[in-house]
Amino acid sequence: MDLHEQLKDIKTQLRLSMNGAVSQSMREKGLVYKLNFGVELPRIKKIAEGHEKNHSLAQALWKEEIRECKILAGLLQPVESFFPEIADIWVESIPNIEIAELTSMNLFQHLPYAPAKSFQWIADEREYVQTCGFLTIARLLMKKGDMDERTANEFLDQAICAFLSGPYHVRNAAMTSIRRFMQHSEEQSFLVCRRVEGMEHAETEAEQLLYNLVKEEVG
């Protein structure tokens, strides 16, 4: 099948798997898409399994303003042809938290340049660029949890600052990455505790919340 036929085939499969109730539920939760078939994730993965990874197909799917096409793009994009400049284009066009989470999981964490790129993203001021940076770091920490001292300090500076002053999704993603960092070793957990020990009786609610979340993680 050529590219046009593959796209047509995928859209046909998506229409046949439509779920209006799921689509409506997402809308009510604030997940707004130009077009959303409401297809559930296991079915989307099944459709992806019917196609080989293909750069042109993934790029064409990403350009579609359709929820399921964007998810499939992350599943079908080969890592070796996904250059850093393309990663930046994708991350800048992420429309909501669902696509941020799924693309970070299905694609961004597997990129050979993911560590450097994720640090570049967390320093960005745009909400979903930052969110993807922290989500990707969290995924990387699950696979290889240690960081050298300089990298760890830079990460904690950015993550704590993002938690204290960032928008909602950035704060959640930053906290997820802090938790993953702490879970790797007692030494890393101690590093975080040292950073927040003075926040127990802080004036701001965000600092007190961070202190309590870290304390909860230490158990």
Band of residue 212 on the pLDDT scale cut at 50, 70, 90: very high
Last residue of a domain, one of 57, 81, 105: 81
Q: Does the pLDDT of residue 146 top 90, yes or no?
A: no
Last residue of a domain, one of 81, 105, 123: 81
- CB contact burial 29-40 (16+ within 10 A = b; e otherwise): eebebeebbbbe
Band of residue 144 on the pLDDT scale cut at 50, 70, 90: confident
Q: 38 and 142 share a domain?
A: no
Q: Does the pLDDT of residue 32 top 90, yes or no?
A: no
Q: 68 and 7 share a domain?
A: yes
Q: 197 and 93 share a domain?
A: yes
CA–CA gap between residue 99 and residue 101 (Å, rounded) = 5
**Percent of the chain scoring above 90 in pLDDT:** 91
Q: 14 and 48 share a domain?
A: yes
Last residue of a domain, one of 81, 114, 134: 81
Q: 41 and 128 share a domain?
A: no
Claim: this prediction has a pTM higher than 0.85: yes
Going by C-alpha positions, the residue among 116, 107, 119, 1 that lies closest to residue 59 is 107
pLDDT tens figures, 176-211:
999 999 999 999 999 999 999 999 888 899 999 999
The domain tally of the chain equals: 2
Q: 3 and 91 share a domain?
A: no
Q: 38 and 138 share a domain?
A: no
**Cα–Cα distance list, 172 to 13, 87, 198 (Å):** 34, 22, 21
Going by C-alpha positions, the residue among 63, 39, 60 that lies closest to residue 51 is 60
Is 118 within 8 Å of 154 (Cβ atoms)? no
Q: 61 and 137 share a domain?
A: no
Q: 71 and 105 share a domain?
A: no
Angle at 96 between CA 64 and CA 75, to 5 degrees: 55
Q: 48 and 89 share a domain?
A: no
Structural domain range at position 214? 83-219
Long-range contacts formed by 117-124: CB under 8 A, 24+ apart: 117/84, 117/87, 119/151, 119/154, 119/155, 119/158, 121/91, 122/155, 122/158, 122/159, 122/162, 122/174, 123/158
CA–CA gap between residue 109 and residue 195 (Å, rounded) = 27
Q: 93 and 198 share a domain?
A: yes
Q: 147 and 211 share a domain?
A: yes
